[in-house]
Chains A and B, each alone.
Chain A
Amino acid sequence: MRTRTINVDYLARVEGEGALRIDIKGGRLDDVKFRIFEPPRFFEAFLRGRNYTEAPDITARICGICPVAYLMGAVHAMEMIGGVTVPTPIRNLRRLLYCGEWIESHILHMAMLHAPDFLKYPDAIAMAQDHPDEVKMALKLKKIGNDVMKLLGGREIHPINVRVGGFYRVPTRREMRAMMDDLKWALDASIKMVKFVTSLPFLEFEQDYEFVCLKHPDEYPLNEGRLVSNNGMDVPISEYDAVLIEKHVPHSTALHTYVNGGGTCHVGPLARYSINYDQLTPLAKEAAKDAGLGETCRNPFQSIIVRGVETVFACEEAIRLVEEYEEPDRPFVQMEPRAGTGYGCTEAPRGICYHRYTIDDAGLIQDAKIVSPTAVNQKVIEKDLWHYVEPNLDRPDDELQWECEQAIRNYDPCISCSAHFLKLEVNRS
Chain B
Amino acid sequence: MQPKVKPKLAVWKFASCDGCQLSLLDCEDELLDVVGAVELAYFPEATKSVVDGPYDVSLVEGSITTPHDAERIHQIRRESKVLVTIGACATSGGIQALRNFANVESFTRIVYAAPQYIDTLKKSTPIGDHVRVDFELRGCPINQYQLLEVINAFLNGRKPNIPTYSVCVECKRRGLSCVMVSQGTPCLGPVTQAGCDALCPSYNRGCYACFGPKESANVPSLSQWWRSSLDVRREDLVRSLRTFNSGATDFERESIRHAN
Contact = CB atoms under 8 A, between A and B. Distances in A.
Interface string B116-157: 011010000000000000000000110000000000000000
A364 to B, nearest CB: 9
Interface in A324-350: 331
B35 A140 contact: no
Contact of A39 (B25, B29, B65): B65
A420 interface: yes
Interface string B91-125: 00011101100101011101111100110100000
Nearest to B20: A64
Nearest to A50: B239
A11 B50 CA distance: 12
A223 interface: no
Interface in B202-226: 202-205, 208, 210
A58 interface: yes
A79 interface: no
Given A15-B45, A122-B47, A139-B28, A44 B19 contact: no
Nearest to A167: B203
21 contacts: A12-B45, A13-B48, A14-B45, A16-B13, A42-B98, A43-B111, A51-B236, A64-B141, A65-B19, A67-B19, A123-B40, A124-B46, A125-B32, A139-B28, A139-B29, A154-B200, A160-B199, A168-B200, A250-B114, A255-B112, A414-B18
B31 to A, nearest CB: 7
A91 interface: no
Interface string A293-336: 00000000000000000000000000000000000000100000
Give the interface size class of chain A.
Answer: 35 or more
Chain A at the B interface: mostly helix, strand, loop or mixed?
A: loop
Interface string B159-197: 000000000000000000000000000000000000010
A182 interface: no
A46 B23 CA distance: 26
Which of A46, A247, A255 has its CB near the most chain B CB atoms (within 10 A)? A46
Interface in A1-37: 10-17
Interface string A241-271: 0000011111001010000000000000000
A128 interface: yes
B14 interface: yes
Given A45-B108, A112-B25, A253-B117, 13 more contacts: A11-B44, A12-B44, A40-B112, A40-B120, A42-B108, A61-B95, A65-B19, A67-B19, A123-B46, A123-B47, A160-B199, A160-B200, A250-B117
Give the interface size class of chain B.
Answer: 35 or more
A47 to B, nearest CB: 9
A362 to B, nearest CB: 10
By Cβ-Cβ distance, the 3 closest A-B pairs, closest first, are A64-B19, A123-B47, A12-B48
A61 B139 CA distance: 12
B44 A62 contact: no
B16 interface: yes
B48 A40 contact: no
Interface of B: 13-20, 22-23, 25-26, 28-29, 31-32, 35, 40, 44-49, 65-66, 69, 94-96, 98-99, 102, 104, 106-108, 110-114, 117-118, 120, 140-141, 196, 199-200, 202-205, 208, 210, 236, 239, 243-244
Contacts of A17: 13
B208 A57 contact: yes
B205 A65 contact: no
A64 B15 contact: no
Interface of A: 10-17, 38-46, 48, 50-51, 54, 57-58, 61-65, 67, 108, 112, 122-126, 128, 135-136, 139-140, 142-143, 146, 154-158, 160-161, 167-169, 246-250, 253, 255, 331, 405, 414, 416, 420
A41 B28 contact: no
Contacts of B18: 15-16, 63-65, 414, 416
Contacts of A142: 26, 28
A343 B240 CA distance: 25
Given A39-B66, A45-B107, A64-B22, A13 B17 contact: no
Contacts of A157: 19, 22-23, 26, 141
